[in-house]
A = this chain, B = another copy of it.
């Protein structure tokens, strides 16, 4: 039979209240009494029931994480960033994938309304945003991670996408590219607008041009990027620099350029966006605007947990800088502001793309 606090109290000859005090590290317990209780707990292998603690305390020490899908290239980084903060803080991480659509969101809502979590960390909530805002108004701590440039009316963490666009432009200019082309993502994703604005912004007053004819929309996929470049080529448009608002589209662009016999980066320099793992394995490896997924996840988690602990927390969005990861799809250039060390990019920053995860760390007695 499971050992309860009552058992420990009886064996130690004290009340449950005193055992509870020891359990919660309250200072007002006699040293000898505490030692005796701790000994009994160790002997019996007593572990408090989290179910009972939760009910009595009125909270669960669990945060809900809502993500539209787990099947995104940056999700492992982001999620690990979240877990690395949430778990050491003593909180559990209850994962909800909204991939199932309506029913999945209803389960999430039920979980929240049933107080299964103390707070919510939502990644790109999309249509669930209104619901989250209601919850937030009702006092539930909520933090949003925005990976698509959607400014949420809630505490949020995002990246400076416009600045990312600027960095891409800067690099292409530094490489001497003057006739530029751009592949945007789906129009619904605000990232594109921000990226495009930043890109165009930096171009003004330089000799470089990005004509409307050279801007084409794709669906965010590799195939979409491939098709987009084919459209540009078929229209006989000339360009020596290309910025794609996503690494997948950039990878497709590389494929189309290669098939067309265009040298990369010699004839066309290509810059992607995101720096997800596959970007490092294209040929040539993709130069891209790095978004700090893991840091963003960690910051959102920290912000949420601070709120759970009653610390204020700013309502201003926490915006992360992007940076350039220069690989082979752009020619070597001199130093550019915000550029990450090239050598580091090739070694330390190469994403750990391993097919196995055998634990190597020493494991304590459990």
Shortest C-beta distance, A225 to chain B (Å), equals 10
CB-CB contacts below 8 Å: A60-86 with B: 60, 62, 65, 67-77, 79-80, 83-84
CB-CB contacts below 8 Å: A260-285 with B: 273-274, 276-283
Provided the pairs A223-B363, A352-B221 are in contact, do residues A357 and B67 lie with their beta carbons within 8 angstroms?
A: yes
A99 contacts chain B at the CB level, 8 A cutoff: yes
Contact indicator B277/A73 (Cβ below 8 Å): yes
A354 contacts chain B at the CB level, 8 A cutoff: yes
Contact indicator A131/B366 (Cβ below 8 Å): yes
Contact indicator A114/B50 (Cβ below 8 Å): yes
Copies in the complex: 2
Contacts of A130 in B (CB 8 A): 366
A191 contacts chain B at the CB level, 8 A cutoff: yes
Contacts of A96 in B (CB 8 A): 83, 87, 93
Nearest B-chain residue to A78, judged by Cβ: B70
A227 contacts chain B at the CB level, 8 A cutoff: no
A97 to B364, CA, bound (A): 16
Contact indicator A50/B356 (Cβ below 8 Å): no
Shortest C-beta distance, A280 to chain B (Å), equals 7
Contact indicator B251/A281 (Cβ below 8 Å): yes
Shortest C-beta distance, A27 to chain B (Å), equals 23
Shortest C-beta distance, A317 to chain B (Å), equals 18
- How many positions in chain A have a CB within 8 Å of any CB in the partner chain? 111
Contact indicator A51/B49 (Cβ below 8 Å): no
A103 contacts chain B at the CB level, 8 A cutoff: yes
Contact indicator B80/A356 (Cβ below 8 Å): no
Contacts of A80 in B (CB 8 A): 69-71, 97, 99
A175 to B253, CA, bound (A): 30
Contact indicator A221/B354 (Cβ below 8 Å): yes
**Cβ 8 A contact of A278, one of B67, B223, B281:** B281
A246 to B80, CA, bound (A): 22
Shortest C-beta distance, A289 to chain B (Å), equals 11
A68 to B354, CA, bound (A): 13
CB-CB contacts below 8 Å: A183-241 with B: 185-186, 188-189, 191, 220-223
Provided the pairs A107-B87, A222-B281 are in contact, do residues A128 and B69 lie with their beta carbons within 8 angstroms?
A: no
A124 to B366, CA, bound (A): 16
A71 to B123, CA, bound (A): 17
Contacts of A84 in B (CB 8 A): 97, 99-100
**Cβ 8 A contact of A50, one of B115, B276, B354:** B115
Contact indicator A258/B273 (Cβ below 8 Å): no
Given A75-B76, A220-B356, 6 more contacts at CB 8 Å? A50-B115, A79-B95, A98-B359, A147-B355, A185-B356, A222-B363
A-B contact pairs, 22 of them (CB 8 A): A50-B114, A52-B55, A68-B358, A71-B80, A71-B365, A72-B354, A73-B354, A84-B99, A94-B94, A94-B95, A95-B95, A124-B357, A127-B361, A150-B358, A186-B358, A220-B355, A220-B365, A221-B350, A222-B365, A223-B350, A248-B353, A283-B283
The 8 A-B residue pairs with the shortest CB-CB distance in the complex, in nearest-first order: A126-B359, A248-B366, A127-B363, A131-B366, A246-B355, A283-B283, A278-B278, A50-B114
